[in-house]
């Protein structure tokens, strides 16, 4: 008795996906940095959390970040200088500042000198973080791109 072999192949659907994006958070303290990282967790990005401007510059130079988020409230941290550096020397990097809600002067500096597309707001000098419209738009745009690639 001779049997016939019937080979069946299941069709595989290949999911294309955008490369994993990298973002850097320069925060004065781990609590603030972790809160921001938690807010961005669903964006499926690779996060680097640093606490000094030296570490931030090293990451930007060696790891080619897509987004840099820096605390500009802690003046000795050098967050504004990191954003300015990225804006002028790494123009493909999006920049976002962490600042108190009511600090219009620092927000203006971050926009004009650091090219900031959005802000994370410290509420009333507490560690409660809120997103501003610019950051929400940036994240929504990224989620739409990811969804588009997942459905192709």
Q: What is the mean pLDDT of residues 102-129?
A: 80
**Residues with Cβ within 8 Å of residue 53, at least 6 apart in sequence:** 26, 77, 78, 79, 81, 82
**Phi, psi angle pair for 96, to nearest 5°:** -140, 140
pLDDT value for 143? 57
CATH number of the domain located at residue range(s) 22-151 in this protein: 3.40.50.2300
- Given a cut of 60, is residue 13 above it in pLDDT? no
Out of 29-33, 80-84, 110-114, pick the least confident.
29-33
What pTM was estimated for this model as a whole? 0.74
Is residue 107 within 8 Å of 99, Cβ to Cβ? yes
CA-based end-to-end distance of the chain? 47
Q: Is 99 helix (H, G, I), strand (E, B) or coil?
A: strand
Please give the sequence-ordered ranges of beta strands (E in DSSP) within the chain, or none if there are none.
22-26, 46-50, 67-71, 94-100, 118-122, 129-131
């Amino acid at each position: 008795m001779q049997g016939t072999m019937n080979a069946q192949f299941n069709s595989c659907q290949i999911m294309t996906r955008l490369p994993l994006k990298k973002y850097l958070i320069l925060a004065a303290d781990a609590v603030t940095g972790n809160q921001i990282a938690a807010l961005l967790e669903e964006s499926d990005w690779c996060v680097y959390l640093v606490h000094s401007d030296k570490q931030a510059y090293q990451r930007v130079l060696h790891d080619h970040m897509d987004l840099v988020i820096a605390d500009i409230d802690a003046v000795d941290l050098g967050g504004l200088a990191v954003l300015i550096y990225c804006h002028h020397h790494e123009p493909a990097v999006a920049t976002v500042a962490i600042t108190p809600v009511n600090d219009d002067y620092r927000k203006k500096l971050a926009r004009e000198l650091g090219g900031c597309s959005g802000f994370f707001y410290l509420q009333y000098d507490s560690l409660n973080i809120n997103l501003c419209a610019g950051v929400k738009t940036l994240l929504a745009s990224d989620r739409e791109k990811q969804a588009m690639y997942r459905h192709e």
